[in-house]
Amino acid sequence: MSGRWRNLHISCIVFVFLVLSLSHYHELLIGVPVVGEARVTLFLGLSRHVIERFIYLLLVAYASWTLGVKVGVATWLVSALLMLSRALVISPNPRDALMETIATLVIAGLSVALIEMHRRSQRQQEELRKITLALRSSREDYEELFTNGSDAIWVHDLAGKIVIANKACEKLTGYHPSEIVGKEVPQFLSPEGLRLAREVKAKLMEGETVEQRYEQHIVGKGKTEAILELATRLIKVDNKPSAFLNIARDVTEERRLRDNLRVQIHKNLTAQEEERKRIARELHDDVAQSILLLSHRLDILISEAGRKLPTAVVSELEHVHGIADEVYQSLQRYARDLRPSILDQMGLVPALNWLVEEFSKELGIEAEVEAGTLPPLASETELVMFRIAQEALNNVRMHAEASEVSIIVESDASSIRMTITDNGKGFSVPKLTGDLVREGKLGVLGMEERARLIGGHLQIKSKQATGTTVIVEVPVQE
């Protein structure tokens, strides 16, 4: 209601209330000019006071209806005060007047209550209407999202019977959604996929956590296979298991591209290792041997011509001899770094001991290797573990500012685990591997890819000022 109409209603109520009150107390105002003549005339044979009480009742109802219950209650209170005062003080028949007044006030109070109930009912109906519209809109939005969603969505009951499916399911299975409804989930699964589905169902029914999204394989129309990233949720009705909601995304092409990429990476790393081995062998067997021969010839020349040549020439020859020795040592070190022969000849643990010893000599950092008895390892596994340790120590050299490093190698019947720990400054480990690339930490990405190539996985734990731990675990492959 606008302020203008509200003021008009208030003015009307106040005016009527004043005139009515003057009439109700007519006996006290007889000597007052004009005012003393104000009274309510008889109507339908009713007494003046009865009509006045009836008008009070109507005034309370009108105030409640137009201005709200609070104003109606205020009007009721003032009316009660005026009517009760006259009934008790002025009326010649107080008992009858009191009874009539109480009856009027009771009816007026009931009218206020009824008006409030009516208004509350209207508000509830309006809220219900809004909720209904919102629910209808939400349902339509959900149905639109469900029907036309890019991800395949279907619901099957506890027995595995599909009860509803969206359009995207057709792309996965080759069946129209109407054809899918009624089919059993096992019809689309291989034996391995069925085993996984039963494991997921058992865990969800027992309230256990299931990794979302997990990988599942399905067989569609025409025996076409697809790889899914699947999320499954248990639907409960009245807190009782009722059905399973499944949301799936087709990642067949992504997996094929990823597998092809890994095959290519594996080929590249293999070629890289072969090239490193070739270069290391050539450095050691060809260039280093030539430098060693040159050093020996210089040594002979200095010994034989020392008495015949001037001291300055001999000194220069000795200097060249020293340079040749330094070059030889450098070539030997480069050859070992490219492909340490100790790895091929003695295995992983001696190679790690040599790596840590060289690292400690170079940087003055306390470093050690702890290793138990290891089972026979495939050469590829030894190479991957060594390269990961080499890259981890290189990261310590470049970034960690550490004073202590330890490498622990342990194994069980099925896997070998290597833990590399430093007490350096650490760093914040991002959640996604791709973030490492953006931060320029390609070495970490390389370690992770090497571990994956032989079926292992790599984990990095680090925080600012708490050091870094690199854990790699790979299966034992003989």
Q: Which residue has the tokens 């120590």?
A: 393
Q: Indicate the range of 61-70, 310-319, 352-361, 418-427 predicted with least confidence.
A: 310-319
Q: List, for residues 23-40, the tens digit of each pLDDT value.
A: 777 666 555 554 444 444
d(CA 142, CA 231): 18
Residue-wise pLDDT tens digits, 429-447: 766 555 555 555 657 777 8
pLDDT in tens, 143-193: 777 777 778 888 999 989 998 888 888 888 888 888 889 899 888 888 888
The per-residue pLDDT for range 237-285, each reduced to its tens digit, is 888 888 999 988 888 888 888 777 777 767 777 777 777 777 777 776 7
Of 410 and 223, the one with more pLDDT: 410
> Does 407 score more than 90 pLDDT?
yes
Q: Where are the domains of the chain?
A: 3-137, 149-250, 253-339, 345-478
As to burial, measured by CB atoms within 10 angstroms (0-12 exposed, 13-18 middle, 19+ buried), residue 62 is buried
Q: What is the pLDDT of residue 438?
A: 55
User: Could you read off the pLDDT of 51-68 as tens digits, one per residue?
Assistant: 777 888 888 888 888 888
What does the mean pLDDT of the chain come to? Answer: 81
Q: What is the pLDDT of residue 317?
A: 76
Q: What is the pLDDT of residue 406?
A: 92
The residue type found at 100 is E
Calculate what percentage of the chain has a pLDDT beyond 70: 88
Each residue's pLDDT tens digit, 224-238:
888 888 888 998 888
Considering only 44-53, 313-322, 459-468, which range has the smallest mean pLDDT? 44-53
Q: 369 pLDDT exceeds 50?
A: yes
> Residue 81 corresponds to which tokens in the numbers above?
């005060």
The arithmetic mean of pLDDT across residues 378-397, rounded, is 87
Per-residue confidence (pLDDT) for residue 119, from 0 to 100:
85
* Right CATH for 345-478 from 3.30.565.10, 2.40.30.10, 3.40.120.10, 3.40.605.10: 3.30.565.10
Residue-wise pLDDT for 414-433, tens only, equals: 889 999 999 988 887 766 55
Class of domain 149-250: alpha beta
Residue 409's pLDDT band (boundaries 50, 70, 90)?
Answer: very high
